[in-house]
A and B are shown apart, each in its own frame.
Chain A
């Protein structure tokens, strides 16, 4: 459903021009779960932002459902690195925000969104303010907000990074099952290799200076379709983790780029 061809992004500032990413080629088909991992500053957020249509690539093409992307597309939903719920709105109003902006605000969609909120266990928090919620609850609310206008491609930028380990594991499972149920396609950015392996079907390893794809790993079939918690317990999980980990170390030590 999505493909990037030789995408490059250069940031221009007053002092210099930063080549954030270059030569990005990737393909995502319907229903796939993809992960981006790599050292800090290798351009993961940049790629995600371009797919979300926040800014165009400097060169290269982004094709979405056989059409070249220009700006915002109704297909994508983007969850930023932090939840950024609006503190002056209740959770109910927050999750309706996407509906209002996209002009889909009506009784049906509101009820649907509220039932999704209920499904994620936040029903009693609908009239609370974000400051009254825990970190995990806020992430769930942000997830509902993103899902409300029915995007089919979800972009998740380190959604679990601010959470404690237990909450994170639970939320991974919840997000995974929710997305699979609704047959969404997803791209997850994470610093956590085991999270990437547990959740996704394919992993893109980025390297920096300039940001580009170093390697692509297909997650073994034995636990690819299992829920994250089960996947972590699979005997094949650890050997695969070791394999990717080695590559990751190669990338993270400066001046040892071999590709």
Chain B
């Protein structure tokens, strides 16, 4: 009797959770529809300038057109590729530099002030120098994305390496561990959570780097579409590019989250 009661209560509880989830998603979708609808209506009624803000239906038309002639795909894939490469280089490069600093305390002390300067420096200001160094093309864009994320990754991950509890290292040292083993078995795994959260931050930073880079030099890509649309007063193109960027960036963020969840689950399962 009692057991039966508990079971029904549990079912009830699960049902409630499901219902709440559905309500949240429903409201979220509703909000999105309201946003686009308001935009469309306001624009049509000329309450906001349709020349500047365009309207969803026109943006949609343009998107269909550009998908059909394949140009949107090309621009998106160029930008996405640049972002992913910049992101990967920034994250891995930053982690590797952090490793080198951890390995050599002398070097880390020597480099400390330079890292502080680099970190507080607005990296975008280095744009012209990057273009001169890498040429006016995709390499410059990637370098910009990488530069934006690599310094902060280095600082955050190095800091995490240093914060690892000495006693985990001591445990390994009692087995005669080498420095490499200390890193591989204690320091690095202890810092996985930090590295993952740095990756999340880096997604945003590399998008900033790529778009700014494309503003400056590109002949292709979503950033180029934005700046070009702006120059020729084609604002539906600007809006379309913005929406595509929003979608792609969130997808990238979500896949990092997915990776995190996968790692957590694997950890729990093993």
Contacts and interface: CB of A to CB of B under 8 A. Distances in A.
B interface majority secondary structure: helix
Interface string A87-128: 011100100011011100000000000000000000000010
Nearest to B172: A101
Contact of A54 (B174, B189, B267): B174
Nearest to B173: A54
B181 A101 contact: yes
A73 to B, nearest CB: 8
B171 interface: yes
A100 B171 CA distance: 13
A90 B176 contact: no
Given A80-B171, A84-B171, A93-B270, A72 B185 contact: no
Given A84-B168, A88-B267, A93-B270, A149 B173 contact: no
B174 A127 contact: no
B176 A72 contact: yes
B175 interface: yes
B168 A98 contact: no
Contacts of B18: none
A53 B172 CA distance: 12
Contacts of B120: none
Nearest to B182: A101
Contact of B177 (A77, A82, A101): A101
A60 to B, nearest CB: 21
Interface residues of B, number: 20
Contacts of B167: 80, 82, 84
Interface residues of A, number: 27
A140 B186 CA distance: 21
B270 A90 contact: yes
Contacts of A93: 270
B176 A102 contact: yes
B168 A97 contact: no
A149 B189 contact: no
Contacts of A80: 167, 170-171, 174
A101 B185 contact: yes
A100 B170 contact: no
Interface in B154-187: 165, 167-168, 170-177, 181, 185-186
A52 interface: yes
A82 B192 CA distance: 23
B270 to A, nearest CB: 6
A217 interface: no
B188 to A, nearest CB: 10
A74 interface: yes
A179 B189 CA distance: 32
Given A100-B185, A101-B185, A127-B270, A72 B173 contact: yes
A47 B168 CA distance: 20
A97 B270 CA distance: 15
A86 interface: yes
Interface in B70-106: none
A72 B181 CA distance: 14
Contact of A98 (B170, B175, B189, B267): B175
B88 to A, nearest CB: 24
B190 A78 contact: no
Interface string A66-86: 000001111011101010101
A100 B177 CA distance: 9
Contacts of B171: 80, 84, 86, 97
A88 B189 contact: yes
Nearest to B193: A88
Interface in A154-195: none
Nearest to B192: A88
Contacts of B185: 86, 97, 100-101
Given A93-B270, A101-B181, A127-B270, A86 B174 contact: no
B264 to A, nearest CB: 10
A158 to B, nearest CB: 14
Contacts of B186: 86
A80 B270 CA distance: 26
Contacts of A82: 167
Contacts of A77: 174
B175 A86 contact: no
Contacts of A97: 171-172, 175, 185
Given A54-B174, A101-B177, 15 more contacts: A52-B174, A53-B176, A73-B176, A80-B171, A80-B174, A84-B170, A84-B171, A86-B171, A88-B192, A88-B267, A97-B171, A97-B175, A101-B175, A129-B267, A149-B175
14 contacts: A54-B174, A72-B173, A72-B174, A72-B176, A74-B176, A78-B174, A80-B170, A80-B171, A84-B165, A84-B171, A90-B270, A100-B185, A101-B172, A101-B176
The 9 A-B pairs with the shortest beta carbon distances in the complex, nearest first, are A72-B176, A78-B174, A101-B175, A101-B177, A98-B175, A84-B167, A84-B171, A88-B189, A102-B175
